[in-house]
Amino acid sequence: MSEGLRPESGTRVIDDECARRLDEAAGVMRGARRILFITGAGISADSGLPTYRGVGGLYHERLTDDGLTIEEALSGSMMAGHPEIAWKYIAEIEANCRGARPNIAHRILAALERERPGVSVLTQNVDGLHRDAGSRNLIEIHGTVHRLRCMECPHSRSVPDYAGLAIPPRCPVCGGILRPDVVLFGEMLPERELVRLEAVLSEGTDLVVSIGTTSVFPYIAGPVWWARQAGVPTIEINPGETEVSHLVTCRLRMRAAEAMPELWQRLHPHEPAED
């Protein structure tokens, strides 16, 4: 197996039924050239990133220090009217995620893209880990925390993290407030990314793979529904039940960092485990 794609420590022992399902999924993937991977918080959890409102998350079953739900604090209207409040919680989430690196699942998706140029990744994550891992056919439907844009003028800039930033940060051009280029609650999805997703689906895919997402948003579940109606095979990698679990062709009840190395090994059986 290529350098950096060997299984990480702590992976579970694969039983016979799980191995059968992995073999089935690898068989579907083997002949697919155009694959749409859809990823959510579960793939980044394997890099140690906390969710902000899921079980065990930063705001699970509690209000923020300002007595707001996290959805209220991280809304577009809050950023427009009280940017200092929205930025307070954006900065807190970023600080808890700072220093995270792509895990083996991110790296394998990037490696598959290098092998098969028809591979695309649609991600809800704003952490930039897919890009750090080398994915380029990437649809960041919720944006990224690593790009800031001014709320008053066209200025934008990229940042590795928020260390050293004044909160909220000011635009060096016009003095307005900078904000992360992410989709906050109550805001529209970016038109450019929606067009790119529509182009991927209209060109056709051989396989749709959902990884680490509960698929509660229609635009995340939609490609799986589309694939089912079009007779395109689908795979889900998620230890829990989701909105699309009953739809998929093959379901792997595994974490992303467990499943992807197993699939990679099955797709590259003659590749040595050590360089």
Co-location of 178 and 126 in the same domain: no
- pLDDT attached to residue 271: 74
Round to whole Å and give the CA distance between 120 and 167.
Answer: 35
Asked whether the beta carbons of 275 and 3 are under 8 A apart, the reply is: yes
Give the E-state strand segments of the chain in sequence order.
Answer: 35-39, 120-123, 138-140, 143-150, 156-158, 178-182, 207-211, 234-237, 250-252
Round to whole Å and give the CA distance between 82 and 75.
Answer: 10
Co-location of 192 and 235 in the same domain: yes
Co-location of 42 and 125 in the same domain: yes
Co-location of 225 and 162 in the same domain: no
Co-location of 74 and 91 in the same domain: yes
CB atoms within 10 A of CB 63: 12
Q: Which residues contact 39 (CB under 8 A, 6 or more apart)?
A: 109, 121, 122, 123, 124, 125, 130, 211, 212, 213, 256
Residue 15 is given by DSSP the state: -
Asked whether the beta carbons of 242 and 214 are under 8 A apart, the reply is: yes
142 is catalytic: yes
Decide the pairing of beta strands 143-150 and 178-182: antiparallel
Residue 2 lies in a domain: no
Co-location of 112 and 204 in the same domain: yes
Co-location of 209 and 255 in the same domain: yes
Residue 250: CATH number of its domain: 3.40.50.1220
Longest Cα separation, the chain: 62
- pLDDT attached to residue 52: 52
Range of the domain at 238: 16-48+102-142+188-267
Residue 174 lies in a domain: yes
Residue 10 lies in a domain: no
**Torsion sign across C-alpha atoms 43, 27, 248, 200:** positive
Residue 21 lies in a domain: yes
**Torsion sign across C-alpha atoms 68, 47, 221, 194:** positive
Residue 90: CATH number of its domain: 3.30.1600.10
Co-location of 119 and 201 in the same domain: yes
Q: What are the Cα distances from residue 135, in Å, to 33, 100, 105, 186?
A: 16, 16, 12, 28
- Residue ending a domain, among 182, 207, 237, is 182
Co-location of 114 and 218 in the same domain: yes
Co-location of 123 and 21 in the same domain: yes
Co-location of 75 and 206 in the same domain: no
Number of domains making up the chain: 2
Please give the chain's pLDDT, 275 residues, in tens: 454 565 554 556 678 899 999 999 999 999 999 999 999 999 999 998 865 544 444 555 567 777 888 889 999 999 999 999 999 999 988 888 888 999 999 999 999 999 998 999 999 999 999 999 999 999 999 999 999 999 999 999 999 999 999 999 999 999 999 999 999 999 999 999 999 999 999 999 999 999 999 999 999 999 999 999 999 999 999 999 999 999 999 999 999 999 999 999 999 987 754 33
CB atoms within 10 A of CB 273: 10
- pLDDT attached to residue 1: 46
Residue 152 lies in a domain: yes
The verdict on pTM exceeding 0.85 is yes
Catalytic residue, chosen from 60, 106, 130, 142, is: 142
Residue 206 lies in a domain: yes
Buried b (16+ CB within 10 A) or exposed e, 11-44: eeeeeeebeebbeebbebbeebebbbbbbbbbbb
Co-location of 246 and 131 in the same domain: yes
Residue 54 lies in a domain: no
- Residue ending a domain, among 167, 182, 197, is 182
Amino acid at 53: R
Residue 170 is given by DSSP the state: B
Residue 62 lies in a domain: no
Round to whole Å and give the CA distance between 24 and 155.
Answer: 49
